[in-house]
C-alpha cells in the first residue's frame, strides 16, 4: 500500500508545492526540491498511513525529560578547534608579547601604540569563539507553554523564547556555505507561527539528524497540548 501525502502540502520556507517525489518514505522525511528545506510531514496533515520513524539521538546531543517537558542539549565542539587552538596560541602570544614590549619601552609614538588594537580585537574575538566551541552547549527546552533556546555557559547571542501555542509547524532550513575548500551544508530549525510568519529557532550549524531530532522532539512535546484533558469537551 502506498502512503500519499496530501496534495495541498506547501513548503513552509518557500511556499512551493511539495511533490510526491519530495517524500522519502524510507526516512519518513520531506525535502523541498526547490529550496532544500527538510521536514517531517506536518502533524495536522499527516495521513495515518504514513510511517513515523523515530529519529535516534544524534551524536553530541543529550535528551532529558523533566517534570515540565524536555531539554535537548547540543555540544558545540567540532573539528575547527584543531586549527583554532594553535592559531589562538600563536596569535595571542605575538600580540600580547608586542603589547608587553611596547609598554615596557618609553619612546614609542602614540600612533604605534594604537596600531595593534585591531590585532588585540581579533585575538580576543577568536579566543572567545574557540573557548565557546570547547565548552558551550545549545539548550533547547520545550514545555507545554513555551520553547526556549539558549547558549552557554559563555554568553552568546541567539536566545529565543516562543509561546508553544503560537507554533504551527517546525521545519529545517538548509544553509549552504561556499568556501574555497568546497561546499558544505548545515541546517537550522525554524518555526512557522500562527500568524504565518517564519522565525528561526536554532541557528548553529546542525547536521540533518540533529535538526530533525530537535524538530521531532519538539513536535511530539507540542502534540501533548492537542490531547483532550480528562472531562474536557472536545469537538
Binding site for Zn ion (CB under 5 A): 11, 13-14, 32, 34-35, 37
Q: Please, which contacts does 185-191 make with residues 24 or more away whose CB atoms are closer than 8 Å?
A: 185/36, 187/38, 187/211, 189/214, 189/215, 190/12, 190/13, 191/147, 191/162, 191/167
Q: Which lies closer to Zn ion via its Cβ, residue 25 or residue 35?
A: 35
Q: How far is the CB of 28 from Zn ion (least distance, A)?
A: 18
Q: Which three cell numbers stand for residue 86?
A: 594553535
Reading the block at residue 68, the C-alpha cell is 515540565
CA–CA distance, 233 with 231 (Å, rounded to integer): 7
Residue 82: CB atoms within 10 A of its CB come to 8
Instruction: Rank residues 92 and 168 by Cβ distance to Zn ion and give the closer one.
Output: 168
Considering the complex, state which of residue 88 and residue 201 has its C-beta at the smaller distance from Zn ion: 201
Q: How far is the CB of 101 from Zn ion (least distance, A)?
A: 56
Nearest to 75 by CA among 62, 88, 56, 63: 62
Residues 6+ apart with CB under 8 A from 60: 74, 75, 77, 210
CB of residue 18 vs Zn ion: minimum separation in angstroms? 8
Nearest distance from C-beta of residue 16 to Zn ion, angstroms? 5
Residue closer to Zn ion, measured from CB, 198 or 220:
198
Nearest to Zn ion of 22, 141 (CB atom)? 22
Minimum distance, C-beta of residue 152 to Zn ion, in the bound complex (Å):
33
Amino acid at each position: 500500500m502506498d502512503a500519499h501525502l496530501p496534495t495541498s502540502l506547501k513548503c513552509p520556507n518557500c511556499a512551493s508545492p511539495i511533490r510526491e517525489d519530495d517524500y522519502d518514505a524510507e526516512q519518513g522525511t520531506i525535502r523541498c526540491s526547490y529550496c532544500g528545506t527538510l521536514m517531517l510531514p506536518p502533524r495536522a496533515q499527516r495521513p495515518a498511513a504514513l510511517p513515523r520513524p523515530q529519529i535516534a539521538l544524534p551524536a553530541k546531543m543529550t535528551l532529558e525529560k523533566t517534570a515540565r517537558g524536555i531539554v535537548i542539549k547540543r555540544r558545540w565542539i567540532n573539528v575547527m578547534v584543531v586549527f583554532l587552538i594553535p592559531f589562538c596560541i600563536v596569535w595571542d602570544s605575538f600580540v600580547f608579547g608586542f603589547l608587553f614590549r611596547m609598554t615596557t619601552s618609553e619612546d614609542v609614538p602614540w600612533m604605534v601604540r594604537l596600531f595593534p588594537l585591531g590585532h588585540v580585537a581579533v585575538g580576543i574575538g577568536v579566543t572567545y569563539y574557540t573557548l565557546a566551541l570547547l565548552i558551550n552547549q545549545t539548550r533547547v527546552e520545550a514545555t507545554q507553554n513555551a520553547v526556549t533556546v539558549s547558549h552557554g555557559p559563555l554568553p552568546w547571542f541567539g536566545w529565543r523564547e516562543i509561546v508553544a501555542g503560537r507554533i504551527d509547524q517546525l521545519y529545517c532550513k538548509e544553509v549552504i556555505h561556499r568556501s574555497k575548500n568546497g561546499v558544505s551544508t548545515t541546517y537550522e530549525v525554524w518555526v512557522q507561527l500562527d500568524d504565518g510568519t517564519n522565525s528561526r529557532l536554532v541557528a548553529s550549524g546542525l547536521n540533518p539528524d540533529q535538526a530533525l531530532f530537535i524538530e521531532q522532539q519538539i513536535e511530539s512535546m507540542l502534540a501533548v497540548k492537542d490531547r483532550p484533558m480528562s472531562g474536557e469537551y472536545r469537538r
